[in-house]
Amino acid sequence: MHQPTKLQDMAQAACATLARLRAEMPRVHCITNAVAQNFTANVLLAVGAVPSMTLSAEEIGSFVTEADALLVNLGTFDAERRQATGIAVKTAAREALPWVLDPVFVDRSPARAEFARTLIARGPKVVRLNAAEFFPLAGAEATPGTLAAFARDNNIVVGLSGEVDIVTDGARRASIENGHPLMARVTAMGCAGSALVAACLAVDEDAVRAAASALVIIGVAGEVAAEKSQGPGSLAAAILDALYNLDAATLRARARVTP
Amino acid sequence: MHQPTKLQDMAQAACATLARLRAEMPRVHCITNAVAQNFTANVLLAVGAVPSMTLSAEEIGSFVTEADALLVNLGTFDAERRQATGIAVKTAAREALPWVLDPVFVDRSPARAEFARTLIARGPKVVRLNAAEFFPLAGAEATPGTLAAFARDNNIVVGLSGEVDIVTDGARRASIENGHPLMARVTAMGCAGSALVAACLAVDEDAVRAAASALVIIGVAGEVAAEKSQGPGSLAAAILDALYNLDAATLRARARVTP
Amino acid sequence: MHQPTKLQDMAQAACATLARLRAEMPRVHCITNAVAQNFTANVLLAVGAVPSMTLSAEEIGSFVTEADALLVNLGTFDAERRQATGIAVKTAAREALPWVLDPVFVDRSPARAEFARTLIARGPKVVRLNAAEFFPLAGAEATPGTLAAFARDNNIVVGLSGEVDIVTDGARRASIENGHPLMARVTAMGCAGSALVAACLAVDEDAVRAAASALVIIGVAGEVAAEKSQGPGSLAAAILDALYNLDAATLRARARVTP
C-alpha cells in the first residue's frame, strides 16, 4: 500500500501533474460516447496526452495493452461499446492499467445503472459522476457521508462534479471550487473531464491526488476561458487554448481546494 | 382540434418560444447522424434544452419516455439507428411526444427515401428538409402548392429550408427570410435546426408556430454570428454564442417572416 | 499512361486545384473514424467540396456511385466500417473513382495493418500516412528511398506527413515544408488532410499533383490560422476560416515545395 499523500498542497500537486502530462505524453484509450469523442480527444491533446478511441472487439485489446490509462464512459452505450468494455477492462486488469468509469445518464436507464454497478465491482480507480448519477448507483443522495461510504465500500475513489467537486476515497477528501457555470452549456465537458482524470492517473498513482488534479486543471482552464468567451461556442475553443497554455503560476493562484 | 394561431406575430411568438425553452429546459432525444451529434447537442444546450443521443435498443425506450420531444434524422443511417427509430417512434406515439423527421440525403439513396415515406406515415409533427430531399418524397418539385398539398395529404407540418424557409401545414404558411449563406458551410447546421424544431415542439403545441419559431431563432442567430465571423470555423462557434445570448429585442428587430 | 506533370510549379498547381474545388464542388464520400467525422466534413465544406459519411451496407453503394472521390480512413475501424469499405472500394473500382487510404494507427494493431495491406492491393490512388504508420506496412523505416520503392511496388502515390511532407509515386517527388506544429494538437487534422487529398483527386487526375496540392493547401491554411490562434481550440476554428478565405496570392507566397 502506498502512503497516502497529504492534500494540503493540492495546487502544487496539480502543477506537478500537468508538467508530467506534458513531459510523458501518456496514451489514454477512451471508450466514450459518440457526442464526446472529438472534444475529449482535443482536451487530451491540449494537455499533451495522446488519445485513441477504437472500439472494435478485434482491436481494442491491442490499443489498451499499449495505453497508459483507460476511460470507460457509458454515454450512447451500445452493443459494440459493451463488448469493448468487457475486453478493455479485462486487459486493464492484466496490465495493471488504471481506469476511470464515467456512468453517464445512469439516472435515465435502469439497464445502464445495473451495468455500471457490475463495472464498479471490476476495479476502476476512479468513478466520476454527478449527483443525479450517484443516486441510482449508491441508493442514496450524494452527501459527504454517502460519498465516503460508497468509496470505502467499493474500494474506489469517487469524483463528484457539481458546484463544488468532491474527490474522496473514504479516508481523504478534496473539495474543489473551480470551474464556471458556462461549462455546463458545452456538451461533453464532464466527459472530457473524466478523460483528463484518466490521463492524470497515468502519471500519478495516487488516485485521489490524480483525480483532484484533473478537476482543478479543467476547472481553472474553464475559468480562464470563460473570461475570454462570449458564450458556450467560444468557451469550447477557449478552454482548449487555456489547457494548452496553462502555467503553474495561474494554476497555483486560482486553485481553490479544501479538504 | 386546437385553434390555429395567427402567424401575423411570428416574431413575438419566437420570443415567447425562446423564453419557454430557457425556462422549461425540455429534454430532446436525438437519433441523429454521427457527423451532427456534437454540434446538435451544443445548439440544444445553447438555448437551454437538454439533449440525449443514446441509440441502443435496450435503452432508447427509457430515454424517449423521459424526453419532451424526439428528433429522427436519417443521416449516416444504419441498422442500429433503424432499430432505434422503430422503438423511439412507437414510444413517442404511446407518450404523445411530438417528433420531427429530418430525411437527410433521401435524394442520394432510394432505400432511405422509402424508409422516410414509411416514417411520415407514422405521424411526425414536422418534416424538415430541403428542396432536393422533398422531390423523392413528394414526387414533385418543391413549390408553395406542392408543399401545402404534401402537408395536407400527410397531416404534417413541412419545414422547407432554402434561401427562404417555408413552414406550412397546408392551411397556414410562414415564409422566413432569416439566415446567412455562410451557414451552409458548417456541417450539421440544418440537422441542428431540426433538433431546435423538436425543442420548440416541446414547449409549443402549435407545430407551425413552433417550427417557424425555431427557424427564425436559428436564422437570426446565424445572421448575428456571421457579422462577427471570418469564415465557417468562427461561425460555428459564434452561432452557439448568439443562440445563448439572443434577446427578444434582437429577435423582434431581425425576424423576417411573412405569410 | 498520362504524361506526368512537372512539379516545378506546384504552388501554381495548388492554386488551380483550389479554384477547381470551389468551382466544381466535388462530392467526397468519407469512411472515416468517429472522432474525425465532424471536423473532416467542415474542412471539405470550407474548400467548397460536399461531404457524405454514410456507412451502412444497404446505402453506401448509392452514395459512392454518386460521389467524385472516396476516402477510406481506418481510425475507429469496426465491423460496419469494414463491410462499408468492401462495398465502397468495389464500387469505386467499377466507377473508376479515385480513392485515398489513410491507415490510421496501423502501428497499434496488427489486424489493422494486415487489413490495410489488402486494401493497398485494391488500388487506392494515394496512401496518406505518417512515419509510424509506414513501418508496419512497408517493413522499413520511412526514407526517400523506401517511400519511392513502396510507391512503385504498389503502384500508388505515397503521401507521408511529418515535419516535411513527402509525396511520391516512385518517379516524381514533392517535399512540402508548410504547416505548423500546433496542427498536431488538433484531433483529426491529419484525417481531414487525407479527405482533402480525396477532394483534390476529384478535380485533378494527376495524383502526385493532387496530393501535393492538398498538403500545400492545408499546410498554408494552418500557418495562416496559427498566426491568429492562441492555442489548439482557436486553431481548429481558424483553419476552417483560413481554408475558406485562402487566396491564390497567399498560397503562392507561402507554398514551400521542392522536388
| Pairwise CA distance, residues A167 & A165, whole Å | 7
- CA of B238 vs chain A CAs: smallest distance (Å): 6
Higher pLDDT, B48 or A6: B48
**pLDDT at residue number A2:** 41
Residue of A nearest to B56 (CA): A78
* Model pLDDT for residues A37-90, shown as the tens digit of each residue: 999 999 999 999 999 999 999 999 999 999 999 999 999 999 999 999 999 999
Cβ separation A77–B54 shorter than 8 A: yes
The shortest CB-CB distance from C233 to any of A51, A58, A241 is to A241
Over 50: is that where the pLDDT of C3 sits?
A: no
Question: How many Cβ contacts (< 8 angstroms) between chains A and C?
Answer: 91
The pLDDT value recorded for residue A259 is 87
CB half-sphere exposure, B2, CA atoms < 13 A? 9
Chain C residue at shortest CA distance from A240: C233
A173-176 β-sheet, strand order: A50-52, A27-31, A69-73, A99-102, A126-130, A157-161, A165-168, A173-176, A257-258
Q: A217, A256 in Cβ contact below 8 A?
A: no
Dig out the grid coordinates for A160 from the structure: 463528484
> Which chains reach chain A with 3 or more Cβ–Cβ distances below 8 angstroms?
B, C
CB contact at 8 A, C218 and C194:
no
pLDDT at A14 over 90: yes
For residue C195, is pLDDT > 60?
yes
Name every chain B residue with its beta carbon within 8 A of the beta carbon of A238: none
DSSP state of B231: S
Q: Say which of A53, A237, A245 has its CB closest to residue C35.
A: A53
Question: Is the model's pLDDT at A8 over the cut of 70?
Answer: no
CATH number assigned to the domain with residue range C23-258, chosen from the 4 options 3.40.1190.20, 3.30.9.10, 3.40.50.1980, 3.30.465.10:
3.40.1190.20
B38:A187 CB<8 A: yes
Average predicted confidence (pLDDT) for chain A: 96
pLDDT digits (tens, 9 = 90+) for B23-79: 999 999 999 999 999 999 999 999 999 999 999 999 999 999 999 999 999 999 999
Q: How much is the mean pLDDT over chain C? A: 96
Band of residue A7 on the pLDDT scale cut at 50, 70, 90: low
Question: Can you tell me the distance from the alpha carbon of B7 to that of B172, in angstroms, rounded to the nearest whole number?
Answer: 8
For chain B, list residues with pLDDT below 70.
1-8
Q: What are C86-89's contacts with CB under 8 Å, separation 24+?
A: C87/C57, C87/C60, C87/C61, C88/C29, C88/C31, C88/C60, C88/C61, C88/C64, C89/C119, C89/C122, C89/C123
Picking from C35, C76, C230, the nearest residue to A245 by CB comes out as: C230
Residues of C in contact with A55 (CB under 8 A): 76, 78
Which residue of chain C has the CA closest to A51? Answer: C187
For residue C82, the model assigns a pLDDT of: 96
- Rounded CA-CA distance B101/B187 in Å is 18
At A20-39, the pLDDT tens digits run 999 999 999 999 999 999 99
Q: Count Cβ–Cβ pairs < 8 Å, chain A vs chain B.
A: 91
Cross-strand bridge partners of residue B175 = B166, B258
| C225 — pLDDT class (breaks 50, 70, 90) | very high
8 A C-beta contact, residue B120 and residue B100: no
- Sequence ranges of the domains in chain A: 10-258
What is the sign of the dihedral through the CA atoms of A170, A172, A177 and A183? negative
Task: Give the strand pairing for C165-168 and C157-161.
Answer: antiparallel
Instruction: For residue C78, give the chain A residue with the closest CA.
Output: A56
Cross-strand pairs, C211:
none
Residue C209: closest CA among C21, C17, C2: C17
- Please report where in the chains the cell 511520391 appears, as a residue: C168
Q: Are A154 and A129 in contact (CB under 8 A)?
A: no
pLDDT attached to residue C4: 47
Residues in chain B: 259
Which chain C residues are closer than 8 Å to B181 by Cβ?
Answer: none
**What is the least distance, in Å, from the CA of B241 to any CA of chain C?**
14
Is the torsion defined by CA of C199, C200, C204, C206 positive or negative? Answer: negative
Which pLDDT belongs to residue B1?
A: 34
| Residues B105, B73 contacting (CB under 8 angstroms) | no
3-state secondary structure of B70: strand
Residue C1 has pLDDT above 50, yes or no: no
Q: In terms of C-beta density within 10 A (0-12 exposed, 13-18 middle, 19 or more buried), how is residue C134 classed? A: buried
Is A242's CB within 8 Å of C231's CB? yes
Tell me what the mean pLDDT of segment C9-28 comes to. 96
Give CA angle at C188 (C182, C191), nearest 5°: 115
Q: Do C58 and B111 touch (CB under 8 A)?
A: yes
Pick the CATH number of B10-258 from 3.40.120.10, 3.40.1190.20, 3.40.50.720, 3.40.50.1100: 3.40.1190.20
- CA-to-CA distance for B185 and B232, rounded, in angstroms? 6
Give the CA radius of gyration of chain A. Answer: 17
All three cell numbers of A192: 472530457
| Residues near C79 by beta carbon (within 8 Å), at least 6 away in sequence | A56
Write the ipTM: 0.95
Q: CA–CA separation, B27 vs B21, rounded Å? A: 10
A23: which residues sit within 8 A by CB, 6+ positions away? Answer: A48
Residue range A109-156, pLDDT digits in tens? 999 999 999 999 999 999 999 999 999 999 999 999 999 999 999 999
pLDDT per residue over C60-102, tens digit each? 999 999 999 999 999 999 999 999 999 999 999 999 999 999 9
Residue B41 to residue A188, Cβ atoms within 8 A: yes
